Structure 1
Amino acid sequence: MVYLDFALVLTVLSLFSIIVMGLRVAQYRSMGRELIKSLEDVLYEGAHHQLEWPDLPERSSALTELRLRVQSAVVALREEREKTVQEQSKLSGILGHILSGVMMLDRAGRIVFVNPAMETLFGLPAENWIGRWHWETAYPYEVAALVDESLSLGTTQKREVTVHKPHDLTLEVHVTPILHSTGGVAGAVLLLHDVTEWRRLESMRSDFVANVSHELRTPITALKGFAETLLDGALDDPKVAREFLEIIRAEADRITRLVNDLLDLSKIEAKQVPLHMEDVSLREMFARVTQVFIADAKQEGVTIQSELPIPDVRVYADIDRLQQVLVNLVSNALQFTPRGGQITLSAEAVHDRMVVRVRDTGAGIPAQDLGRVFERFYRVDKARSRRSGGTGLGLAIVKHIVEAHGGRVGVSSEFGQGSEFFFDLPTSQETAPL
């Protein structure tokens, strides 16, 4: 009987132990679920930049320590994420305002970023670039070859190339590899500088120097030749000597005009010529310019007339520079108008501007030359212009003076039917450029 009671007690104790252990396990499982749920809440709230943190169970110092570590990790990750976003924002802002085209590529040669300037250069939006292989884009083969070379060799590449689509461009290409800390290539940055205007200006400067040298060489050669002829004995013949001296004086005058025009043009382009603006009567200005050419026009058999409405019209301009513009335009018209022809000065109001026109019945200008007549030293009829003593700078000076007044200058012509040069000026101080 005693043995039976002892066995029963052992059985009850065993069952009680099992129950207690089961409750313990259930408790820890519950705590584990609470822990996981709480950690999920912490990570979610931290990722969404919430300042309030959910409370974790405080039943265990180990859980409390784990909670603190998770919170610290989330804070650190959030700070790093914010730093990354700020750096990306700064980089995008900087690249977005760079005038040169910028493209970033990964190691395989796929495009991961283009700035607005690159989109403008080739007329393609960013979505047409991102994710594509770089050789599938609009730039020419020479650029693609430089990118491939930089990615494969890990070296910087530089070259100047010409692009014909969407329009003619001269581009300076720089490709710089992006290197890992281990030295491997992680990608590349492509930089495209548009140097079209620089090259055009360099060409213009080169042409200018060549033209000036050519224009000076001709009269200087003539001066030297006639002077040598006089020294060789032509002085003994008064008639020949006088003829040669007249030629020498004419060539010296031509050099003087050329130098003066060059100085004028240089000062006007550099904005070193102050404009003394005032109300100017066009009727009086037309009469003054006509009087300057009345003798030459009569000799050439050309008529100069003015067409102005009965009420006087006025413009706001520098009177001396305005006269220089009209003198150059009438002189140019007189060179190319045959005997019996006519030159007409007129003006008409267009909104708050006065458009002044100088029309002739001369030979006209070929269509291919119309866009270049205001260039320095450009002549439609080079031989005739030189014989008349022109320097080839008159129309360039006209253009710069008118633009200094805030106006624009232009020409319309049909070959064989005459030409019309026109420019506009403000009619009052209120409408003049500041």
Structure 2
Amino acid sequence: MENFEARAHLANGQIHDTSLAATKIRFMSNDYIVTVGRDITQQKRQQKDLENSIVAAELANRSKTDFLTNMSHELRTPLNAIIGFSSLISEQVHGEITAPKYIEYADDIQDAGRHLLHIVNDLLDMSRIEAGKIDIYLEAFDILETYEQIERLLRERIIEEGLKTTIHPPSQPLLVWADISRTKQIMINLLSNAIKFTPKGGEIHVFAKAKDDAPSPFPSKTPASA
């Protein structure tokens, strides 16, 4: 008989987990049982701790999933309402809006709502979170127009800090082929840092230009030899 476990009760009252190996031997016409024991109390304790950690991790993961599922409904519902009502205002469905600035603000609300909804959708896609992957949707867009949308979103912070922004536009429209939502998030981070680290009353300069030797990022519609 080999490698079986038992609990050893010591003289001092302690109980230890023990791994035992026993075998029968014959010596001088007599049969004997030889037993070797190894104290595995610490090993069993570590194994139990590991099992408890696994259970705790599974519970935490289940709680995370439940939280994100609930957040899906709680965030998407008001976001869709914000996007929908701001669209009605922007399109002047129920009457003309005499102040053009209000239409601009409605457009800004739509842009902010759609961007936030896109972020929420990413957070709620558990398969991509667990795999560490995010889908990229490529499209062509004007990088300067996109920046201007971001600046409008952060307008109040810029005003609060007494900052001035100066845009140095390219000589011609600069189109890029990228994921516009990811690009917007990068721009938000960059402009937020510029606002944060620029002294009050300072100025933020924004440049956009294409590298002269950069290959075109757009899919070619003509043969490469053309």
Question: Which has a greater percent of helix?
Answer: 1
Q: Larger relative CO (CA 8 A, sep 6+): 1 or 2?
A: 2
TM-score norm. by structure 1 comes to 0.20
Bigger-Rg structure (1/2): 1
